[in-house]
């Protein structure tokens, strides 16, 4: 099996610390998982694969081509979850168009006010989930305003309703919303796994080191193939999923 993406960033001292401290042990998968797809919207992906330094001229939060490298892995995980009728829960952002509720998002980025201006040359909204992985009729979409999928949302209540004991986390950004969601899931005593290739970030170093840190303390960071094999081994029809019409993507901002 290939080395994890963070291996090239670790010093010999780091490796010795992990080995002797007891961190990075495997926590193991749960028995009733939900697949979480965090913020895979056009704001973070652009409408097509583009070099990141080109893409962020137009979409300031874009992760460029790395988003599209992750897309086949996301598609495989979503298809695998659907095949077993497992819950697939998406998150995406929601804001007032005037930006009044942006709060702290404006404090650390001097391009934040651009989000209030519609892009006349695109037919998609920044918070729309990328259509290549669009939610299906039994999937759930959670709207959020802060990094964690749990903060100020009804995600926990959905997991309680479904009887989930664990989550598989994917999406973006690894160092931001993915990590915040993982830490909150861990804090709520869910078993947590992260599919390595199905996460992405605009900073390659932040992506790698945050995967390393999550794997050390809060989650099992595993290859997508391992998650798919785990899905295959689960019993069919574990969940009573919603039977409503297809969930609509968030358009408001």
pLDDT tens for each residue of 159-175? 999 999 999 999 999 99
249 domain residue, yes or no? no
Q: Note whether residue 248 is domain-resident.
A: no
Q: What is the pLDDT of residues 123-168, one digit of tens each?
A: 788 899 999 999 999 999 999 999 999 999 999 999 999 999 999 9
pTM: 0.90
pLDDT under 50: residue ranges of the chain: 250-253
Domain count, the chain: 1
pLDDT attached to residue 245 = 53
Q: Is residue 50 part of a domain?
A: yes
In a domain, 121, yes or no: yes
* Domain annotation covers residue 222: yes
**Strand pairing partners for 221?**
194
Residue 241 counted as domain residue: no
Compute CA distances 229 → 76, 112, 223, 224, 246, whole Å: 11, 41, 10, 9, 27
What domain range includes position 116?
29-232
Per-residue pLDDT, 250: 46
Q: Does residue 20 belong to any structural domain of this protein?
A: no
Is the Cβ–Cβ distance between 40 and 133 less than 8 Å? yes
Which residue's structure tokens are 């969930």? Answer: 247
pLDDT of residue 246: 52
Range 192-211 burial, b when 16+ CB lie within 10 A, else e: bbbbbbbbbbbbeeebbbbb
Q: What's 168's domain CATH number? A: 3.40.50.850
Q: Is residue 134 part of a domain?
A: yes
Residue 97 CB burial class (10 angstroms; 0-12, 13-18, ≥19): exposed
Q: How long a stretch of residues is the chain?
A: 253
């Amino acid at each position: 099996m290939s080395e994890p993406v963070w291996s090239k960033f670790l010093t010999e001292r780091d490796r010795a610390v992990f080995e002797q401290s007891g961190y990075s042990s495997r926590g193991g998968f749960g028995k009733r998982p939900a697949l979480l797809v965090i913020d895979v919207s056009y704001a973070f992906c652009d409408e097509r694969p583009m070099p990141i330094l080109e893409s962020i001229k137009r979409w300031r939060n874009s992760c460029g081509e790395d988003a599209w490298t992750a897309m086949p892995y996301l598609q495989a995980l979503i298809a695998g979850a659907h095949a077993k009728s497992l819950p697939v829960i998406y998150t995406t952002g929601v804001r007032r168009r005037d930006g009044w509720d942006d709060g702290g998002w404006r404090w650390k980025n001097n391009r934040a006010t651009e989000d209030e201006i519609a892009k006349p040359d695109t037919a998609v909204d920044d918070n729309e989930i990328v259509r290549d992985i669009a939610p299906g009729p039994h999937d759930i979409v959670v709207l959020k305003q802060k990094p964690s999928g749990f903060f100020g949302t009804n995600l926990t209540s959905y997991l309680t309703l479904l009887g989930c004991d664990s989550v598989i986390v994917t999406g973006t950004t690894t160092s931001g919303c993915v990590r915040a969601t993982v830490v909150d899931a861990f804090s709520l005593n869910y078993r947590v796994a992260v599919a390595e290739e199905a996460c992405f970030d605009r900073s390659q170093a932040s992506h790698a080191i945050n995967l390393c840190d999550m794997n050390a303390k809060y989650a099992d960071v595993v290859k997508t193939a391992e998650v798919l094999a785990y899905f295959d081994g689960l019993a069919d029809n574990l969940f009573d999923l919603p039977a409503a019409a297809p969930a609509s993507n968030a358009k408001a901002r």
